Amino acid sequence: MRSLFTSVRVHMTWMLVALGALLASCGGGGGDGSSNAATQYTSVAMAGELLSYTVDPVALTYSYTITESQFGLNGKTGSGTLVRNFDGSYSPSGIPNARIVILPNGLLLGAVRERFGSAVVTVPIIGLSNPVSNVASLAGTYNYMHRGCLSAVCATDTGTFAIAANSTWSSCPSANLGAGACPAGGRTGTLVSLGNGLFQVMEGATNVGTAIGFSSAGQNVLVIDLKDVRVGGLGIGLVVGSLQATLTSAQTDGTWIAATSAGDWAVFTASGTTITVTNVDGLPVNLVGSFTANVPWQGMATTNGGGMGFLAGNGVYVLETANGYAELGVKLH
């Protein structure tokens, strides 16, 4: 893995490559999707933590409790205040440059800052206010992005997985299960309901993580908190998946906000196949990139810099960059 940034110039160049094809979904935008009361979101952090995250848009506060941790942080809590930004997002106290965005369909993009491993770092989270409780509601074929770390070595990849109504699942890296059998590297297992919208993800006798899912406008989203430390396992991290659906410019046009696996944040606009990054970690920029939709298969897209992303639910996008980092974001408007 290459080092992330050596200067602001390198930082912004990398963000252009990484964000040049940040992909969006069908009409899920609306950073001003807050309710009139505090809302609790079952959330997964990119570092591989399960959290209960609460946002109160009236009192302008946030709080969280880590409920499953691979870093000895079970029960750890955090809280702070929020500043509402002109674009409908919120800036949380104590987490520099991070944003919190609430979508009307119950999706949350946020951040936590904790000691995950040897250092205190900012990690993006994705949360759901209304996870489904029935596996049959999640049945279908999904595109996915996987970010996992083993022995302090992290990597990102994309592929597909399928969930059956009988609670079995199968996955295939770098290939489309929707087009046939997995050519190599496939995995299989089962989902076991834990109640409250949580599902234990089993591969054989091994518990590899905890999944949450929901459906918005008929398009499912599934997020997995990974804790598979076996040699050759899935690692500690997360999987974000969505039902396969054709990506169109009508869905992607708009303003988006993104977080990276390195803790950086950016705002960009999409128009047709053009992406213009307008802000990186609070600094105004004007960086232009592009992407090609539905390549190498339905719902996936490739960037002008060699990254790959996919439609990840109503208002959510993910991206595997050419150098192995991960992006996670939502549509503001």
**For the chain (length 333 residues), average pLDDT per consecutive 10?**
29 42 48 72 97 97 97 96 95 94 94 93 95 94 95 94 97 94 94 96 97 86 96 96 87 88 90 92 94 92 91 75 93 86
Are both 161 and 95 inside the same structural domain? no
Are both 167 and 264 inside the same structural domain? no
Q: Last residue of some domain: 112, 128, 144?
A: 128
Q: Tell me whether residue 196 is in a domain.
A: yes
Are both 156 and 231 inside the same structural domain? yes
**What DSSP element (H or E) covers 214?**
strand 206-216
Residue 158 pairs in a beta bridge with 145
pLDDT at position 35: 56
* 14: CB partners within 8 A, 6+ apart: 4, 5, 321, 323
pLDDT at position 312: 54
Q: Give the amino acid at 258.
A: A
Output the pTM of the full model. Answer: 0.90
pLDDT at position 187: 97
Q: Tell me whether residue 92 is in a domain.
A: yes
Domain count, the chain: 3
pLDDT at position 32: 57
Q: Last residue of some domain: 128, 146, 180?
A: 128
Q: Which two tokens stand for residue 155?
A: 């990597």
* Cα-to-chain-centroid distance, residue 258: 9
Domain that holds residue 61: 39-128
Q: 275 with 17: CB under 8 angstroms?
A: no
Q: Last residue of some domain: 128, 156, 173?
A: 128
pLDDT at position 28: 59
How far is 179 from 298, CA to CA, in rounded Å?
10
Q: Tell me whether residue 331 is in a domain.
A: no
* Cα angle 328-332-333, degrees, rounded to a multiple of 5: 140
Q: Tell me whether residue 289 is in a domain.
A: yes
Are both 158 and 217 inside the same structural domain? yes
Q: Tell me whether residue 89 is in a domain.
A: yes
CATH number at residue 94: 2.40.128
Are both 141 and 236 inside the same structural domain? yes
Q: Tell me whether residue 34 is in a domain.
A: no
pLDDT at position 2: 26
Strands (E), 69-179: 77-84, 90-92, 101-102, 107-115, 120-128, 140-150, 153-163, 168-173
pLDDT at position 36: 66
